[in-house]
Amino acid sequence: MTDMTADLKQRFSQLQEGDVDVVILGAGVNGAGLFRDLSAQGVNCLIVDKSDFGSGTSAAPSRLIHGGLKYLETGEFRLVAQSALERNLLLKNAPHCVEALPTFVPIFSWMRGIPAALRTLLGSTTAPRSRGAVLVKIGLALYDFFGSRNRVMPRHRFLLKSRALKEMPHVTPQIVAGGIYYDAKISRPERLVYELVKDGLETNRSSVAANATALVSAADGLLTFQRSDGYAFSVRPKLVVNAAGPWIDHVNAALGAPAHLIGGTKGSHILLDHPELVRSLNGHMIYFEADDGRICLVYGYLGQALVGSTDIPCDDPDNVRCEEHEIDYFIDSVRSLLPSLRFDRDQVTYSYSGIRPLPASDASSPGLISRDHSAPVFERQAGRPFPIISLVGGKWTTFRGFAEEVADTVLARLQRTRKTSTERLAIGGGRDFPLDSNARAAWTRTVATKTGIETSRADELLSRYGTTAAAILAYPSAHDDGERISGAPRHSAREIDWIARQEMVVHLSDIVFRRTTMAIEGLLTIQGLREIGAIAANALQWDAQRLAKEIDDVVASLAKFHGQTLTEESVRRAASPASR
């Protein structure tokens, strides 16, 4: 039995002895953020997810931590202010996976879009989306203003055509100007969700987290759950939070509170193996209008180019995937924006898609549906003695602020007071992270000396796991850090062993899709997957039949949902070693 399994069993045994204060259904970023916040206040919480932590919508974002420049058009100024603040806080609280992202906006006219923007601000739902230089300049100035709290990045710059083309030489010469402003990106969003859950468990020993756990019944205030291994348990919560994202309406119906709260839209993305494009971006994102007026983006992500996203009404979160016509749309869009570069389908290494859990809306365009969040309450009633708070909408950037708002509501209902703020609370591997080059060099030297590895390797693991890297290297594993995974030579068997034993892994997919970025980076091979599986099987006591099924499930998921077919060689055969 692994250390994490023993800890989980002990916490479950405590559930049998008494009820929990709050049950959170859904362990995406909003649920995980709330779990951490409430646990820090001394509230005993149970968070469950039918799949894995961060495996639903939270695993399918544009991987941006942004202030919501586009929300200025719809007059959602409060959301822009909150988003910009939360972006700035995440740059400080999660420096191991959130970093600044200079963003280039190509501009194709001087005056276009002003009347349309005014109509949108006045409530129109049919305004065209084109934006000229005057409108962009005003928007960027407002964006700087809303991002002034806890500012950590420079203000925007406005560039005339000649200067803009020097900055971005492959952009179409049809532009008249360009702007550069600053947002942020997150390298490992799925892993950060797990870290939020882990932080909550460390803060409150009476809180419990369970992935691969389904709600099987709800009657007379008793909720019964069953894990994928057959282990079942029941609790009587004082309050339930429905954080199931696009599944919220389904969960509320199961709890006896049917409603129509969600009107989700589908967002798809692709990854391109395009070294020339990544080099030409020079660390920038291009945030641009496609030919149909939709906002798209392209930027470098872990050595590849990430292109997104679509915004299509959709209500089937269990089967969502990036379709062929969406890939064609992305290829055509970047080809039009960057005409001097080659773009073909054979450059696509990975695709993914998710449902944004937006509020139900009758807006004529998905892009005009509010990205703000709300938390409607279904009060207790006969047969259901607990209220239900549903987390509707929201986005990656604002999860902490949203969690704080809901936590304060929960505390008031439980007649408790807040003990601490999460505003300055580091997340997971961001704790004690070295913030400048001298501190980073000192950290890597110390870890290298203690563990006998090269300082460059210590630095690499710091980038991947934050300060958790020190614990990974110090753990008494049977695997050496020099034992590397086939197809992914910068990932070691020791890392996989640690993850399998210490990070609440239930399935092989948890490791390759969420605790690491090996799948999305295109680093998986059949042989490498077998090696990872063998390490996990030894740690988690899987037999040969279970291991074979776990491998088959990963291969099937890659093909069905990510357009990736595994071979004996990694998908990114031509990728540079530095990207791995």
115-124, 453-462, 565-574: lowest mean pLDDT where? 115-124
Which pLDDT score, from 0 to 100, does residue 5 have?
65
Does position 104 have pLDDT exceeding 60, yes or no? yes
**Between vectors from CA 107 to CA 105 and to CA 108, what angle results, nearest 5°?**
150
pLDDT tens for each residue of 318-339: 999 999 999 999 999 999 999 9
Say what percent of the chain tops pLDDT 90.
75
Does position 246 have pLDDT exceeding 50, yes or no? yes
Contact 133, 156 (CB under 8 A): no
Which pLDDT score, from 0 to 100, does residue 359 have?
83
pLDDT tens for each residue of 517-530: 999 999 999 999 99
Which pLDDT score, from 0 to 100, does residue 2 have?
54
Which pLDDT score, from 0 to 100, does residue 1 have?
44
| Ordered structural domains, the chain, with CATH | 3-57+190-262+371-413 (3.50.50.60), 98-187+263-364 (3.30.9.10), 434-579 (1.10.8.870)
pLDDT tens for each residue of 426-458: 999 999 999 999 999 999 999 999 999 999 999
Strand residues in 49-197 grouped as ranges (E): 64-65, 98-107, 157-160, 177-186
Residue 123's pLDDT band, with cuts at 50, 70 and 90, is low
Contact 537, 547 (CB under 8 A): yes
Residue 115 vs residue 234, higher pLDDT: 234
Mean pLDDT of 366-372: 66
Does position 309 have pLDDT exceeding 60, yes or no? yes
Report the distance separating Cα 140 and Cα 73, nearest Å.
Answer: 12
Contact 260, 360 (CB under 8 A): yes
Does position 363 have pLDDT exceeding 70, yes or no? no
Residue 461 vs residue 2, higher pLDDT: 461
Which pLDDT score, from 0 to 100, does residue 113 have?
61
Mean of all residue pLDDT scores within the chain: 91
Beta-carbon contacts of 457 under 8 Å, excluding residues fewer than 6 positions away, are: 448, 481
Q: Where is 119: in which H helix or E strand? A: helix 114-121
Contact 480, 457 (CB under 8 A): no
Q: What is the pTM of this model?
A: 0.93
CA gyration radius for the chain? 23
Does position 294 have pLDDT exceeding 90, yes or no? no
Say what percent of the chain tops pLDDT 70.
92
Which pLDDT score, from 0 to 100, does residue 578 have?
39
Query: Does residue 187 have a cis peptide bond before it, meaning omega lies within 30 degrees of 0?
Result: no
Which pLDDT score, from 0 to 100, does residue 580 have?
34
Report the distance separating Cα 174 and Cα 170, nearest Å.
Answer: 11
Does position 368 have pLDDT exceeding 60, yes or no? no
Closest CA to 98 of 186, 183, 29: 186
Does position 31 have pLDDT exceeding 80, yes or no? yes
Mean pLDDT of 535-547: 97
Does position 125 have pLDDT exceeding 90, yes or no? no
Mean pLDDT of 540-553: 97
Does position 73 have pLDDT exceeding 60, yes or no? yes
Contact 310, 266 (CB under 8 A): yes
pLDDT tens for each residue of 476-534: 999 999 999 999 999 999 999 999 999 999 999 999 999 999 999 999 999 999 999 99
